Every structure is written in C-alpha cells, then in structure tokens.
Amino acid sequence: MANLRAVRLFEVDDLKDFIVIAGPNGSGKSCVFDAIRLLKSVYGGYQADEYMQWFGEFAINPQDRTAIRAMFRDLNEPVEIAATIEFSQTEREFLIANAADLVWPLAWQRATGQRMDHWSFNRMAIATQLAQHRDAVQALIDEITNKLVAALNNNEEHQLLVAITPDSNLDIQECVPAEVSFQAYEPQHLGVIEYHSAQRAYPRQALQGINLDAREFENQRRTQSLYNWQAKYQNVKTELASGYLRTLISAESGDAPEASEDLNETLKELFRTFFPDKEYEGVRPERGGSLAFPVRVGDGAVHDIDDLSSGEKEILYGYLRLRNSIPRGSVILLDEPELHLNPSLLQGFADFYYRHLGVAQGNQLWLVTHSDTLLRQAIGNSNYRVYHMLTATTSTGNQASEVVLDDDVERVVVDLVGDLAAYRPHAKLVILEGASEDAFDEKFIRRLFPDFSKRVNLVSAGSKRRVRSLYAALNETVSQVGIANRFFAIVDKDAEIYVPPEGHTQEFTWDVYHVENFLLVPSAIREACATLSGSELFSSDDEVMVALKTQAAELLDRLTLERIQAEVNEQIVTAINVKGSPDTNGVAQSLLPSITASAGRIAAVVAASTEEALTQRAAEVRSELATALDTDEWTRAFPGRLILKRFVGAHLGGVAYEPFRNVVLDKLAMSEHRPESMKSILDQILAA
C-alpha cells in the first residue's frame, strides 16, 4: 500500500494466520484496514457499488477532484493498493462448480450497465429485459467463466492491484477470481472479510423486532460486514432471542440445530472462559410473554446481561459476534480489541482468539493494538507476525518493520523499553538519566524534540552511574558481534571532570549542569508563574532573570564546597590501584607492592590537602563561579534544578516544584523552543 492518507509505504509479506500491527498514533495503522476494505470493495461488493460506502465513510465524493484530495498523502502520486490472495481447495471447488451462477450478476452488469450484486440478483426480476440481452449476457458468462476456471486451475496465488490518481482515475488490474468471489456473499462456502472498528459501543438494548427468517438474519450480517459497523453490536439481545426461538422450533420439528447456531451456549462458554465467577443462564421465558437474559454472580445475585461492564461486554459481545458471524477461511480485521479492557482481562486474549477464531476456523486475523499486554503475548510467538509502524514523517522507506526477538540484544532492548507499543524494532537506543516513574530527561526530549523521539528508543536508567554502566555493557556486547551505532548514552554535566573511556564514542554529556538548566528561559518561566499564581508576578523577562540569578548567587558557597569535595575524592580514588601478577603463586608478595604504592599516593594527596591549599583552591573555584555570575555562563555552570527549586520556594508559595517544572516545559513546547546544544547532540545520534 502506498500514499493512502497517513501511509507513505506499507509492505508486509510471508504472513501467518495472525498479524499484529503496533505503532504510535498517526502512523497509519488503521489505514491498513481501510486499504484492505477498499481493495475488496473495488473488486467486488457484497452490495452494489459497495466501494461508494468506503468513500462515504470518509465523506469523500470520488467525482469531486477537490474532495478526493483528502485520501492522498502526496498529491503528486497515486494511491496504490496491492495484495496477493489464495483460495482453499474447497473454495476453488465451489467457485468452479458454481461458476455459471456466480458470474451471472457480473455478466448482466457488464452487458446492461445496471449495477447488481450476487445477493440481490434475481433472474425473475429481469425476465422482461433478458430477451433483449440474452446473447450478450451468455457470451459474457462463458468468457468470465472460462477465465475464472483457467485462473483457479493454473494459479495458486492471484495478484490484485488498484491505483487511484489525484484526478480521480481508477485503474484495476484484472483478477477474475477476486471479482467473482468478492461480490458473492456465500459465507458457508467462501471466506469473507469482516471489519470491526475501534469505535465500538454497547448501549443498553430493548428486545424488539425478532425475525426468524434465516436469510434476513444473514442479510443483516452481509450489510454490516465491512461497513455500517456501528450496528454490529446493537441487536445482541434480539440475536440471542432469535437463536433461542430457532432452537425451540428446531427441537419441536425434530431437527437438531448445529452447535454453532446456539448463541446462548456460546455465551455460556465465554463466561466459563473469561468470568468463572459469573454464570450466564441463557434466555429465560417470563410470565407475560417476555424474555429475560439473567447473569448470576458469585453471591447468588442475578442481574440482566445489560448490566455487564463495558469491558465485559467488549469480551462477550465482541467475541460472540465474531464467533457466530465468521465462517471458515475468512479475514478478520479487528481494530484495538483492548478497548474497555484492563490488563488482567487481556491475559491470554491473543491466544484465545488465535485458537478459537484463527486455527479452529481457518481464518486469518489482523489486529491493530496499542496494548503492551497483547504485544508481549504475540512477540516471539511463531504463530504471529508482529509489525511496528513508524509515522511517514520519521520513515524514508517501508513504515512497517517486523518485530522479531531473534537475538539476546534485541530481547534486552525490549525489556529496557518496557512498553512494546512504543518500541521501535532495530532503532537506536538512547539511555538517559532519571527514574522510570519520573523520567524527566526523557519527557524533556519527547516534548521538545518529538521527531527525534519517534526515530529512537528512549530509556530512563536512573543515576548517572547506572546510565554509564548500562551503556558500557551494551556497547561491549554489540561491539563483539560487529554492531555499531546502536546504543547511546546522555548524562548531565554536573560538576565532575569526566573523560569517557576509549571506545565510548557514543557517550554524550549535556553542556549544562542539569537538564533542567535548559528550562532557564525567562519568558517561559514568567508565563508559568502567571499560569500557576493566576496573576502577573513579574513585569518583564529581565525581572525574572534577576530573581533566578539571586537564587543562583546564594548557591555560591555550596557549589564551591561540592566542587572541592569532588576534586579531592577523585584524587584519592584515582590514587588507589591494587593489582598483582596472575602468574604468581604468592598472593601476598604479588599484592603488597601495589598496596604500598597506593598508600603512598593517598598519603601524598592527604599531605597536599593542607588548610592553606584547600583554602586557596576554594578561593579559585569561588572566583570562577563568581565570574560566571557576572556573565550568562551561570545559567550553564550552576545547577538548574536547585535554582528552580529555590525560585519556586521564594516566589510561588504552595506550589510544588514538579508541577512548576512541567508547566515551564509546556510553555517551551508551545513556543517550539529547541536548545541548540541539545539539538546538536541529538542530531549527532541520528546521523551516526
């Protein structure tokens, strides 16, 4: 598929019976389902001109060249949808055996120009016209039948291609088997395509309009298969009642109904599977001629099936509709099945659908999901194909990438990312400071650099030491297998003097004390103060800078002490270097020289750390910091987190620091502020 709405290019192949598509909002996941529906409807509809319903769903008039522009991502390129389909042996046999009857509507339509579908086609209704067109119709029947039989006998796979140009030209690659099968709603013999939108609702229902006509019941399913999907779940009670009455009639007439026809038994099975603490008792006749649909809970209380929660209805009504309306050999498109469901209900959901709707019925299931729980059940399972979609703006090629956990490194990355719905297969991993519950560094990048965030996997690993340790371990692992430019680390500068070890070329440091230093933007802070206080606390940006600088100045002595502490500590730690020869038999003799040497180096550091020397060094550091205060350098060299905390305490009584910090970030994002030094590092990572 290419150039349809949010999709530039989507290509998948070698598909299994269960396909799962994940990815960020706006990446075009639902467009994949829209493309499948349009492809099917263009080749043949269960209703006449079915493809017009597709355009109507998106409020597009295909004859209006201005309106049709809405379906194109690039107005200079055509929309292209291509697919390969296969028929089972029983489907091929049915198509060949019933070819003459199945192609009648197509032949009539081509001979007369009258739009017709197989379901509604009736030769009696056209008897007066048939004499006039009989020869032309029969010739077309013979021609189409011969092509159909030849194609089915000579090919296992059949190619479909639809192209729509921006000036409304529609080109269709001929595929007679698709044209015949896609317009013939014969669910007992031919697989169908069934679509379930993410916009599902389960209102309370009144029992009404029970219809025992099996054909009418099937007709409702036909018209709701790909379109009119809002009505799929609107008549569940009526469907249960109809099934109940048909079962009674069959029993009285001596016919044994097929098990699949008893919807109430199906619903009981679902309760036993998903809600063992509840029991659906089936349809119950009541005095006065009405029917009840009781559900018994654990304590013995009884309530109506309408009183189930939205999550319970999602499981029960959704699966009920699928189980009882989908024949074998079909394609089921299910958008966001996790709606209304908590993670506990989703446990085993994918496997349950695969067993009961996929393998058991010979169907192919397509799922679009944002659920981490569902994805964890699917990824790594050989029964599934899982694809992650990037947005068209962050992908230069195929937006779909298969998620395959075929090596230990990728499994580690998945575990680090945590949320599989946000995981980007084989993308770069950027490790940041910050605990996972706060992860402000990650939040900062996502808000101010959303394009970067969409192209990489961001992970918050905790302290600076943990970030560096994790990066070192991952970098060493991938270096051994020849993978480069996969893992990156970014930490705060703080007050340390640090040189990355040799080979750690992808370890970066912000050029400011804390990442919060990037928040020291007076206009954003001024707006945040006004938002949180409800009044203008500062009359100008300069006034804000004065207030911030005042708080920074009060940190002068504290920062001097921390700098001297860090320097002396570094000298002492560096002085310790204990090691011995691995080839020696005498451990003590091997270690003592290095221990003695280390003690000597430590003694030298202690001897040099006199009161006079420490006082002189403190004066130098304090002078350096004071100089920074006289310039704009203090906004980089002083700890932004501490400055802002003190600022909030001094000017916004009753407001916590975290909400203030988040509001400032919001203001920066709204103004599209991009710190240049931060952008430089992120650009280097993307370019690596």
Three-state SS sequence of 20-50:
EEECCCCCCHHHHHHHHHHHHHHHCCCCCCH
Which of 516, 542, 567 is at the close of a domain? 516
Q: For residues 175 and 500, give the distance between their C-alpha atoms in angstroms, rounded to a whole number.
A: 62
* Strand 284-285 to 291-292 pairing: antiparallel
Lowest mean per-residue pLDDT among 64-73, 157-166, 308-317? 308-317
Residues 414, 315: one domain?
A: no
Structure tokens at 104: 């009648």
Q: Is residue 669 included in any domain, yes or no?
A: yes
Q: Are 111 and 130 in contact (CB under 8 A)?
A: no
pLDDT at 481 over 60: no
Structure tokens at 541: 């940006």
Give all strands (DSSP E) within 404-539, no chain letters: 429-432, 457-460, 487-491, 507-509
Q: Specify the 3-state DSSP secondary structure of 268.
A: helix
Q: Is residue 43 included in any domain, yes or no?
A: no
Residues with Cβ < 8 Å from 256, sequence gap 6 or more?
Answer: 250
pLDDT at 209 over 70: no
Residues 527, 483: one domain?
A: no
Q: For residues 104 and 517, give the distance between their C-alpha atoms in angstroms, rounded to a whole number.
A: 75
pLDDT at 647 over 90: yes
- Residue scoring higher pLDDT (610 or 211): 610
Q: Are 20 and 369 in contact (CB under 8 A)?
A: yes
Q: Are 18 and 358 in contact (CB under 8 A)?
A: yes
Residues 540, 635: one domain?
A: yes
Beta-carbon count within 10 A of 330 CB: 21
How many residues does the structure list for the chain? Answer: 688
What is the separation, in whole angstroms, between the first and last Cα of the chain?
A: 30
Task: Give the pLDDT of residue 525.
Answer: 96
Residues 530, 670: one domain?
A: yes
Taking every pair of Cα atoms in the chain, the longest distance, rounded to a whole number of angstroms, is 118
Q: Is residue 501 included in any domain, yes or no?
A: yes
Residues 509, 527: one domain?
A: no
Residues 559, 581: one domain?
A: yes
Residues 472, 544: one domain?
A: no
Range of the domain at 524: 519-687
Q: For residues 410 and 395, give the distance between their C-alpha atoms in angstroms, rounded to a whole number.
A: 20
Q: Are 89 and 153 in contact (CB under 8 A)?
A: no
Which of 463, 487, 516 is at the close of a domain? 516
Lowest mean per-residue pLDDT among 21-35, 295-309, 335-349? 335-349
- Residue scoring higher pLDDT (237 or 407): 237
Residues 548, 646: one domain?
A: yes
| Gyration radius (Cα) of the chain, Å | 34
Lowest mean per-residue pLDDT among 296-300, 539-543, 619-623, 682-686? 296-300
Task: Give the pLDDT of residue 125.
Answer: 64
Q: Is residue 205 included in any domain, yes or no?
A: no
Task: Give the pLDDT of residue 259.
Answer: 43
pLDDT at 269 over 60: yes
Picking from 323, 406, 416, 420, the residue whose alpha carbon sits closest to that of residue 369 is: 420
- Residue scoring higher pLDDT (476 or 332): 332
Q: What is the DSSP string of 271-330?
A: HHHH-TT-EE---EE-TTS-EE-EEE-TTS-EEEGGGS-HHHHHHHHHHHHHHHH--TT-
Q: Is residue 671 included in any domain, yes or no?
A: yes
* C-alpha neighbours within 13 Å on the C-beta side of residue 542: 0
Q: Are 627 and 556 in contact (CB under 8 A)?
A: no
Structure tokens at 179: 């044209």
Task: Give the pLDDT of residue 281.
Answer: 82
Q: Is residue 533 included in any domain, yes or no?
A: yes
Task: Give the pLDDT of residue 291.
Answer: 84
Tell me: the pLDDT tens digits for 484-523? 678 899 999 887 766 666 666 789 999 999 999 999 999 9
pLDDT at 91 over 90: yes
**In 457-610, which residue ranges form alpha helices assigned H by DSSP?**
464-480, 522-533, 541-553, 556-575, 587-608
Task: Give the pLDDT of residue 308.
Answer: 81
Which of 307, 325, 343 is at the close of a domain? 325
Residues 535, 619: one domain?
A: yes
pLDDT at 415 over 70: no
Residues 482, 545: one domain?
A: no
Q: Is residue 462 included in any domain, yes or no?
A: yes
Residues 583, 610: one domain?
A: yes
Mean pLDDT of the chain: 84
Lowest mean per-residue pLDDT among 279-293, 409-423, 525-539? 409-423
Task: Give the pLDDT of residue 359.
Answer: 80
- Residue scoring higher pLDDT (197 or 219): 197
At 26, the pLDDT band (50, 70, 90 cuts) reads confident
Residues 465, 546: one domain?
A: no
Burial class (CB in 10 A: 0-12, 13-18, 19+), 541: middle
The residue-averaged pLDDT of 400-427 equals 70
Picking from 263, 271, 269, the residue whose alpha carbon sits closest to that of residue 244 is: 263
Q: Is residue 372 included in any domain, yes or no?
A: no
Domain count, the chain: 3
DSSP assigned state of 79: E
